[in-house]
Chain A
């Protein structure tokens, strides 16, 4: 039997030591009324067979398309060394570092990850990561609720609708009030958000770049929030954080991010990485694992899981969260990715993405009837255009020709059925942008 090494002789010797007549007898406590009514599974297959089957399924996915899809999840180049290093089995076949002396590799890597992400966001503290960017946003909101004792969350409608629906689902039984402030042509309504903050508000939640790709400076909003005792939560795109004003510089209390763009393949939605950072005031509300530096009995530097009094295995139902793991391997990959690119590499990546997106916007808006949704508002690696036709129809037509032109904003925003969200990365070439523009022009004639 694959992966089970016991020979018939081994089994006999083990049963002798146990003093049991048979393996079946070890299951005698499971009464007849609890036995399976069926267990109708296929017979086992060889490694070669299963691989061939999965290769066949993989071929049924079209991955040769040129894609301008983003919507918060981006196809960046991943240095080959990220795969080579993260596949070292000392990392990926270990578990949560409960025994720190035998887990210094994982622990120091998490410590370095915490350092890297705090440098990106400009906030002092980070945890070891949570499941994904949406879970990070929910956990940030709950940090604010615990910290302030208030129950209202003010959310900008230009925060990813994927995360806003998750927030709605998670908070459904928690007696919280979600107040959504509408976007204005893809821009955050800063005045509306500021006006919505009051003495009952726990947090104001915004995103930069927002779902439409538009950029904002939230410093004034966050200052107003601080004055009202409201926690400021900012969701960011980590690649652009190499050039954009940081959450720390804007005065945010908590910054969260989806870390997929840092060395994780798209992989149809996961595993991803929820990055969480915060300022000193909120650190004891942080959920999940955190690694701290200390010394051993001989004074040598070492790393341990710390501040565990917040966690579920100590606090049980009074814990800050039920999360008892992190996305350790994803966090490790993100750290490796950031180290391999380094400061210069990440900055170049961000600048190429911004440059390509601006070139794409220029080419697309040169087509009659195609306009930028947000007019002259600044944007980064992604932007929204309105088409003279339904965006779904355009996507369908161009996808059939091998180009996925973007994401239909009508999927989440009523009234924007003609709007298309277009993303570029360093993998998008100017030539591909030109072909997309010509295909779209041809379709609209």
Chain B
């Protein structure tokens, strides 16, 4: 399919505003103006509408396809939350309004949304306070680690290291490094963190540890109480990566379990759409001793019920966002939490765990499941048997064959600690019929591939393109239509 630039026909009228009376050259010195035109395309509105409609048809999304992409929580995104986020009373609001002193009265509804969302997240997680500013999960991690750094600096602790288990979420090491810490990798044992292994790397230099619970194998970290105790012994803080919070709603609260900092992925647990890779939202919650270090501003409620932004926190880590985070995403998550309520959130967690275990049992006779015990909301299988057999079908091939059947593939080759990994997260919103059909199809693919490996190795065959040459892309570096 041609790029939109190739469809341009100079002179064709798009959505143009009225013609200005003066050109830029009439008002500004020539030396400040560009010599070479930018070269944006000239297209009719229908040209543009057709181009993007056709592009959209070259995509799988949750609405059209079962999308069991492990760790990413591709659950259904309720449509009414889009209606909420599109209300002009929210979309037209300029973010600097609350900075105009008295003008905070012009955005009381938006401030209330932020305040109430923070209160709900505090109760869901058992934390003392939340900030909504981080704009994605990885951004929440960075914010959380910056808070850990500020806490130790304030106490006069000299700490240089952050421990990251090998079963933790993939972005953790980079987040810790970017906040200025040395990263200590902790190997897991039987799929979870082992206190004896932890003891080997734990010392006074450790500022904190980042855990994902359940971890990326979908396993619950049952040694958690012992780990909390060990970390407290050296004044190290425990960080909860909320990538998998959807597995424990109402079953465990991270604050009660001893975590000091947590980030959430509103686009996972609280069902806001993933948008093809963003925007998400990564609010961060903290225990009482870390409240002074939260980013500014913070939304507060006066006795008369008015909301305002407080910037007066001298120990704060400062600003991680220009304003208050991805407000439009927060709105959708707030609406979702209100819609489900206490019982709905617990049921979502229970159904997600039930679905994952059902799928695990349906597949574990054919695919190797390295830690084949009760999992939480997701599980990791391995295609190592198939890869080692005469047919040499790998996880990648199975993924591609699934695309031909109209499914998005599970996450593959992650976590790194399982060879030929296939990570399945069915989510709570898929019906039993969908899960049954998916399992049947996957088993059928494996059977056909055993007889004829090319059935999987040659997949996909029914999509707009077959397998793509990634080496050529990296070497050629054609990153724009002009290169």
Contacts and interface: CB of A to CB of B under 8 A. Distances in A.
Q: Which of A175, A269, A329 has most chain B Cβ within 10 Å?
A: A269
Given A20-B374, A61-B93, A115-B481, 12 more contacts: A29-B222, A42-B338, A57-B110, A58-B89, A61-B110, A91-B61, A102-B409, A104-B59, A244-B33, A265-B328, A294-B478, A329-B277
A340 B45 contact: yes
Q: Which of A90, A118, A122, A132 has most chain B Cβ within 10 Å?
A: A90
Nearest to A423: B94
Contacts of B80: 47, 50-51
B381 interface: no
Nearest to B182: A317
Contacts of B109: 56-61
B43 A306 contact: no
A104 B40 contact: no
Nearest to A4: B351
Contacts of A180: none
A325 B87 contact: no
A19 B16 CA distance: 64
Contact of A115 (B110, B339, B480): B480
Size class of the contact patch on chain A: 35 or more
6 contacts: A44-B339, A50-B335, A215-B32, A327-B278, A342-B8, A348-B18
B171 A289 contact: no
Nearest to B374: A26
A50 to B, nearest CB: 5
A243 B225 CA distance: 61
A166 B322 contact: yes
Nearest to A5: B431
Interface stretch (A79-87, A181-189, A227-235): A79-87
B343 A61 contact: no
B465 interface: yes
Contacts of A43: 341-343
Contacts of A173: 146, 149, 179-180
Contacts of B49: 81, 84-85
A293 B141 contact: no
Interface string B152-173: 0000000000000000001101
A347 to B, nearest CB: 8
B289 interface: no
B318 interface: yes
B67 to A, nearest CB: 7
Contacts of A69: 94, 96-97
Contacts of B235: none
Nearest to A297: B466
A340 B48 contact: yes
B94 A266 contact: yes
B479 A348 contact: no
Interface in B70-117: 72, 74-78, 80, 82-97, 99-103, 105-110, 112-113
Nearest to B48: A339
Contact of B123 (A40, A346, A352): A40
B319 A165 contact: yes
Given A44-B344, A245-B34, A291-B479, A101 B465 contact: yes
B383 interface: no
Interface stretch (B194-202, B250-258, B387-395, B442-450): B250-258
Interface residues of B, number: 205
Contacts of A115: 3, 5, 480-482
A106 B8 CA distance: 20
A124 B483 contact: yes
Interface in B137-156: 137-139, 141-142, 146, 149
A94 B51 CA distance: 18
A103 to B, nearest CB: 6
A42 B341 contact: yes
A404 interface: yes
B40 A330 contact: no
Contacts of A93: 61-64, 74, 77, 273-274
B354 to A, nearest CB: 5
A39 B250 contact: yes
A265 to B, nearest CB: 4
Given A61-B109, A269-B322, A101 B482 contact: no
B451 interface: no
A378 B374 contact: no
B273 A242 contact: no
B367 interface: no
A200 interface: no
A396 B101 contact: yes
A91 B123 contact: no
A141 to B, nearest CB: 12
A56 B32 CA distance: 47
A348 B42 CA distance: 13
Contacts of A30: 220, 222, 248, 251-252
A26 B136 CA distance: 30
A411 to B, nearest CB: 6
